[in-house]
Amino acid sequence: MSFSQYLRDQGSFFVFYIILMGIVTIMTAVGAESLYEAHNVVYIHTIGLFIVLVYILIGYYRRMSFYRELNDLAGTGHEEFLAAMPKPQNNEQQLYVKLLKKLRDTHVRQLQSLHTEMKDHQDFIASWIHEVKVPIAASRLLMETGGEIATKSTIDKLEDEIDRIENYVEQALYYSRIDSFSKDYFIMEVLLDPLVKKTVKKYAKTFIDKKIRFHMDDTLQAVHTDSKWLRFILDQIVFNSLKYTEPGGEISVRFEEDHKEKRLLIQDNGIGIKEEELHRVFEKGFTGSTGRRYSKSTGIGLYLAKQLALKLDHDLSIQSEEGLHTTVFIHFPKYRNYYPFDYDPGG
């Protein structure tokens, strides 16, 4: 900072000094009984101006080293500029340095969050591409070995692989929307029965091919939810149940309710989950020993289902016993008022 810039920064001080000296001049002139006493104003101004100039010069030279180091630092583009900053000389400078450190910490946290998010997206895309290549390769192989006239068995297998690709694409689509979820949901009273039936119908072919029985208790129950997102959650849960239930098994759906909440239970008598892995099944990318054994799991379906459930103010939990059964619970809170966007209950 040059001396002229420093003087401009002291503008308010000079204004105060001028006003003060003006008042002193008026009071001295009014109270003077002779011309000699009036001349004292000149001495007062001279001494006052001298003191002010000394004050300004001392102040500038005291801060000059700080300003010079700061200016040099700004010109170098030093990445760790806070560590290289000159030591504050007064409380004001200390406050600015404190503020800069706080801004730096906030910026670092935001960068780390963005980096983690970007890495998660990259990991998901890499995993997704790897997984979707499997049914694509299987489809190509079926077409090449099926001959000119495809048998019903070949067509069925081809449909299975296409369904698998469709599920992966749907997962990717919902994964891409999860950050903008707040713009695309509408809570209203929804009957569970039609939603469950649509999910079962979607995977009807797999039910038939694997001869898996389906049983549903009375689910003519209404919950407050968004039907589109809940349908996706149901699809992911049933898709997993079908994947890990052996041919001839059973998947059942029933409804429970108590004073606290409503619950939809989807239970299968499949291979189950190891107890030590149970608490991790909703983690992103977690496939566990079961997923690795079946080698067709991305570990993203249940993660997405859990995240979407939480955004809808629902929740998911799971109980399982290896080799016997797995039950996924969708929890719906009770006695909760939902209002559409921009709805004023008092309006």
DSSP for 169-186, written as a single string = HHHHHHHHHGGGGGGS--
* Tens-place pLDDT, residues 120-162: 788 778 878 888 888 888 888 877 776 666 677 778 788 888 8
pLDDT confidence tier of residue 343, bands split at 50, 70 and 90: very low
Burial class (CB in 10 A: 0-12, 13-18, 19+), 128: middle
* Tens-place pLDDT, residues 246-256: 899 999 999 98
pLDDT at 347: 37
User: In degrees rounded to 5, what are phi and psi of residue 89?
Assistant: -100, -15
User: In degrees rounded to 5, what are phi and psi of residue 12?
Assistant: -65, -35
- Which are the contacts of 69, defined by CB distance < 8 A and separation ≥ 6? 85, 86
Query: Chain-wide mean pLDDT for the chain?
Result: 82
Q: Tokens 């809940």, residue? A: 230
pLDDT at 231: 93
Residue 344 pLDDT exceeds 50: no
pLDDT at 346: 41
Is-above-0.75 flag for pTM? no
Residue 106 pLDDT exceeds 50: yes
* Tens-place pLDDT, residues 18-72: 898 888 888 877 766 666 666 777 888 888 888 988 988 888 888 888 877 777 7
Contact 273, 281 (CB under 8 A): yes
Using alpha carbons, select from 240, 200, 234, 242 the residue that is nearest to residue 314.
234
Of 29-38, 92-101, 230-239, 278-287, least confident by mean pLDDT is 29-38
Secondary structure class of 87 (helix, strand, coil): coil
Residue 233 pLDDT exceeds 90: yes
The size of the chain, in residues, is 347
* Tens-place pLDDT, residues 266-312: 999 988 888 888 888 888 777 666 655 555 566 778 888 998 899 88
- Indicate if the alpha-carbon torsion angle 146, 150, 152, 154 is positive or negative: positive
pLDDT at 7: 83
pLDDT at 288: 67
In angstroms, rounded to a whole number, what is the distance separating the alpha carbons of residues 229 and 186?
10
Q: How many C-beta neighbours within 10 Å does residue 201 have?
A: 10
pLDDT confidence tier of residue 182, bands split at 50, 70 and 90: low
